[in-house]
Amino acid sequence: MPTNQQIVLDNRPQGEAVASNFKLVSGPTPALLQGQVLVRHHYLSLDPYMRGRMNDGKSYAAPQPLGEPMIGGTVGEVVESKHPKFAVGDKVVGMGGWQEYSVVNGDDLGALRKVDTTHIPLSAYLGAVGMPGVTAWYGLVKIIEPKAGETMVVSAATGAVGSAFGALAKARGCRVVGIAGGPDKCKYAVDELGFDECIDYKQHPHVGSLAKALKVACPNGIDGYFENVGGMILDAVLLRMNAFGRIAVCGMIAGYNGEPLPLTNPALILVSRLKVQGFIVSEHMEVWPEALKELGTLVATGKLRPRESVAPGIAAAPEAFLGLLKGKNFGKQLVKLI
């Protein structure tokens, strides 16, 4: 039986998450029962939502239990199977967690999905053609409901969700403006991801300055905003929203550490007759087939070429994750396990 290295949650963060919240443990993979499959993970996905799970407070999901491998999406290969639907060598995507191997009950609905890597690289199923891509798709298609010619804005534009959002919105004939941190990310958003413009929020320490930059980049105002961040960026965007604008709230990453993050002027929701709607994509599994089909086509045809940040080996996961929370990653953050 191969040895399985895991990162478990050892203790909960007091304020900011730190490396000592995690612990590396290892042990043998268990023998399979009938109906089970052993998956060797090739890539682990790191995503902001994991920070929320580390807390014990009220959230939309149960907290991550202490002493167990951190939750996380994985892609890999079946290395042993006692389930008729899965064969050794099958490429699969699942929620294997922060570890090198996972044992999956093949009958659990949605636990393991076989994927085709002919035209789409395996790692893309954790990003553009996976949960982040569907997240962008749901926010854009189901909440924002864009019309051709409208202006869409997305924060964290070069991340896995933001880059997919940009490609999906361009495909619908929208003007797409990104917000990202630093000139490299902004250049990448325009040159490689196809954004019309990208604003470097680090150049705008105050809400008034950022709002002015948005006015220049969005001469017709903002019709749809995909919120990955919250805080000052949301305040600035609200000032530029057109009447009947729609805001899909997917992340409030700046607030995960518990610091207060008020919305300065909620009356703008009334003044501009906005719809502001929060969602988490795992509650809308019914859209996944349609969304994955469109996203897969965009990737296979080169219209969506998301960037990846790859950390080497499971032991590197905590540091990479903490960097992600601080915006140090550039593109979809993965951990390569093989």
Q: Interface with a copy of itself by CB under 8 A: which residues?
A: 58-60, 230, 234, 243, 249-252, 255, 260-267, 269-280, 283
* Least distance between a copy of itself and beta carbon 286 (Å): 15
255 and 261 in contact (C-beta within 8 Å)?
yes
Report residue 293 as tokens: 């089909």
Which C-beta is closer to a copy of itself: that of 173 or that of 266?
266
- Alpha-carbon distance of 49 to 45, in angstroms, equals 11
> Minimum distance between the CB of residue 267 and a copy of itself, rounded to whole angstroms?
4
Least distance in Å: CB of 221 to a copy of itself?
Answer: 12
How far from chain centre, in Å, is Cα 132?
A: 4
Between 25 and 60, CB nearer to a copy of itself: 60
Question: Which residues lie across from 135 on neighbouring strands?
Answer: none
CB of 48 to a copy of itself, least distance (A): 11
Minimum CB separation from a copy of itself for residue 212, in Å?
Answer: 15
* Nearer of residues 247 and 324 to a copy of itself, judged by Cβ: 247
**What is the helix (H) or strand (E) element at residue 34, kind and residue range?**
none
Q: CB nearer to a copy of itself: give 278 or 323.
A: 278
Minimum Å distance from CB 158 to a copy of itself? 21
Q: Which is nearer to a copy of itself, 31 or 271 (CB)?
A: 271
Given a contact cutoff of 8 angstroms between Cβ atoms, the answer to whether 154 and 179 are in contact is: yes
Give helix 160-171 / helix 183-191 axis angle, nearest 10°.
Answer: 30
Give residues with Cβ within 8 angstroms of 330, minimum separation 6. 158, 184, 185, 188, 307, 309
Residue placing its CB nearer to a copy of itself in the complex, 174 or 281: 281
**Which residues, in sequence order, are bridge partners of residue 102?**
39
Amino acid 197 reads E
Separation between Cα atoms, residue 162 and residue 186, nearest integer Å? 12
Q: And the tokens for 8?
A: 């478990």
